[in-house]
Amino acid sequence: MPTPSPTRRAELASLVSGWLNDRLKDKLDGLPDDSPKRAELRQQYQPGTWLADAARRVSQLQAVTHSLKPMHPDAKGTNLLIRPSSLPLISFVGSHCLRHPFELDVVGNAGSLDVYKFLKLEYGGKTLLQLSQERDPDLAAALCDDLSVANSLLAAFAGLTEPRGKTSTHTTAKQVYWLIGDDVFSENSYHLLAPLYPASLVHQLYLQLQQDRFGEVAKAAREARRERRFSEQPVHEYPNLAIRKLGGTKPQVIGQLNTEHRGDSPLLASLPPKWLSKPVRPLLRVETLFKVFGYREQVRRLVPQLRAFLEVEVKKNKEAKEHRAKLVDLLVEEFIQFTAELRNLPEGWSQDAECRLGEAEKCWLDASGVPEEERLPIDTVTERIAAGFANWLNAQLRGKLDFADPEFKEWRDCVLAEVKAYDMEVAYE
């Protein structure tokens, strides 16, 4: 046990009284000056009165990592606090991936969640809950001059992380029969599982999504991408993301973390991957890489979309320009992916007698395989590749459309920026 410190005790007492005063002020701000309830609230938020009441109410709460309410709001049964460090390490993402410190959820009587907010107050890098669990003598002295009362308060607060009652499930909770044997018709071939909601893991996912979608660094990265500037920060995308609302208008009935999320529980897309790639082969017996590029499935889908949009869209507003730019960006990304696949082939393939590509395309796709004396300057290569893309795209869009120099320059500049950025990334690998 650490040596008692008068200074530390005074600082902890100040932390406690300051928090209670702030809570009291919030309550009084909404009342008239002559309201009789003001005196009642002042008495209620006296440290001795409030702490004793909090010690009583803390039994209505439980700190957990896995909760039952998200499975069904009427479910009553076991919630669990499982330390991630105690879980086996497996190759899938799970609660075992959480690192210390991690956020605990708190379930139980929503009217007592203020007790948990109190116990989350930090001093010296530790919460009051942790100090209570350590039976910190300075915190005890700060809570009450009577040592026996103070120790009772610490014991009550430390009980927040203790299990409640016997392990049980509920009729409204989910259950899953998990096959463990070979005979699917035998009851002994199954485990009956009662899944719980991994509240602490979902909270970490929620924080990461918020940072990747709305954080200042993420915003700067997306702005750089729109302006076709290089950014060291990658842009994270979460396609087909769904949000499940828990608790309706009362998210606090589900738990403390759900309240902090405003009831939002993110669901990542769980669709199986659709792998369409074919073996990458050297480009032989074709005069240009664009002849093969045009047959890629993504390209064959995007080009008609862009052509159809341009044929009917006469508006020049911001929304139309952004949609056009998005389609072009997707084509450019597919082009970079296509060339990246070819650049991973064993070097020297472009020297095959049946390779009819131009000098710039050979240097771009098989830089190390082209004899040094035949290599073009990198700026010449990238400019010719970008011009080739622009000419190819203009040719694909002809019909009702009449594209000339302005469009050629736009396509060329777009792909040139990405080509140079790709070269820069490869150079640093």
In a domain, 73, yes or no: no
Residues 338 and 375 in one domain: yes
Q: Are residues 209 and 182 in the same domain?
A: yes
* Residue 284 near residue 304 (C-beta atoms within 8 A): no
C-alpha angle with apex 217: 214 to 220, nearest 5 degrees?
Answer: 90
DSSP code of 65? S
Q: Which of 161, 191, 226 is the last residue of a domain?
A: 161
User: At what angle are helices 318-343 and 297-312 packed, to 10 degrees?
Assistant: 160
Report the candidate in 258, 334, 249, 326 with the shortest Cα–Cα distance to residue 294. Answer: 334
CB contact at 8 A, 55 and 93: no
Please answer whether residues 360 and 394 qualify as being in contact, where contact means their C-beta atoms are separated by less than 8 angstroms.
Answer: no
- Cα-based angle 384, 343, 359 (whole degrees, multiple of 5): 35
Query: In degrees, to the nearest 5, what angle opens at C-alpha 175 toward C-alphas 174 and 181?
Result: 160
The residues, any chain, with a CB within 8 Å of residue 415's CB and separated by 6 or more, are 332, 335, 385, 386, 389, 390
* DSSP per-residue string spanning 148-173: HHHHHHHHHHHGGGS--SS----TTS
282 CA to centre of own chain = 39
Spell out the residues 6+ positions from residue 69 whose beta carbon is closer than 8 angstroms to its own. Answer: 75, 107, 197, 246, 253, 254, 255
Cβ–Cβ < 8 Å for 357, 289: yes
pLDDT tens for the 429 residues of the chain, in order? 556 788 999 999 999 999 999 999 998 988 888 888 899 999 999 999 999 999 999 999 999 999 999 998 888 889 999 999 999 998 888 999 998 888 999 999 888 999 999 999 999 999 999 999 999 999 999 999 999 999 999 999 999 998 887 888 899 998 999 999 988 899 899 999 999 999 999 999 999 999 999 999 999 999 998 888 888 889 998 988 999 999 888 898 899 999 999 999 999 988 877 766 668 899 999 999 999 999 998 999 999 988 888 777 655 667 777 888 888 889 989 999 999 899 989 999 999 999 999 999 999 899 888 998 889 998 898 899 988 998 898 888 876 555 556 766 777 888 888 877 776 655 444
Give the distance from CA 142 to its chain's centroid. 40
Same structural domain for residues 221 and 364?
A: no
Q: Both 303 and 411 in a single domain?
A: yes
- The reply to whether 72 falls in a domain is no
Do 184 and 41 have their domain in common?
Answer: no
Strands 126-127 and 61-64: unpaired
Q: Does residue 1 belong to any structural domain of this protein? A: no
Same domain (yes/no): 407, 302: yes
DSSP 8-state assignment for residue 254: T
Q: For residue 337, tell me if it sits in a domain.
A: yes
Domain of 31? 6-65+104-161
Task: Write down the residue that tokens 């086996």 correspond to.
Answer: 88
Residue whose C-alpha is closest to residue 382's, from 339, 341, 318: 339
Q: Could you count the other beta carbons within 10 Å of the beta carbon of residue 265?
A: 22
In a domain, 276, yes or no: no
Among 235, 267, 299, the domain boundary falls at 267
Residue from 364, 311, 357, 310 nearest 335 by CA: 364
DSSP 105-144: EEEE-GGGHHHHHHHT-EETTEEHHHHHHTT-HHHHHHH-
Query: Is 46 in a helix, a strand, or coil?
Result: coil
Q: Tell me how far CA of residue 73 lies from CA of 36, 173, 202, 244, 262, in angstroms.
A: 38, 9, 17, 14, 16
- 77, part of any domain: no
SS3 content of the chain, % helix, strand, coil (to 5): 55, 5, 35
Angle between helices 6-28 and 37-44 (to 10 degrees): 160
Residue 199 lies in a domain: yes
Residue 264 belongs to what H/E stretch?
strand 264-267
> What is the structure's pLDDT at 423?
66
Q: Are residues 156 and 20 located together in one domain of the fold? A: yes
Residue ranges of alpha helices (H) inside 29-88 are 37-44, 47-57
Could you tell me if 307 and 256 lie in one domain? no
198 and 139 assigned to the same domain: no
Structure tokens at 368: 């190390």
One domain, residues 238 and 335: no
Same domain, 131 and 257: no
Q: CB–CB of 99/85 below 8 Å?
A: no
What one-letter code names the amino acid at 368? Answer: S
Q: How many CB atoms lie within 10 A of CB 12?
A: 23
Report the number of distinct structural domains present in the chain. Answer: 3
Helices (H) and strands (E) in the chain, counts: 16, 8
15 shares a domain with 131: yes
Classify residue 141: in a domain, yes or no. yes
* Nearest alpha-carbon partner for 70 in 253, 296, 207: 253
Domain boundary among 218, 233, 267: 267
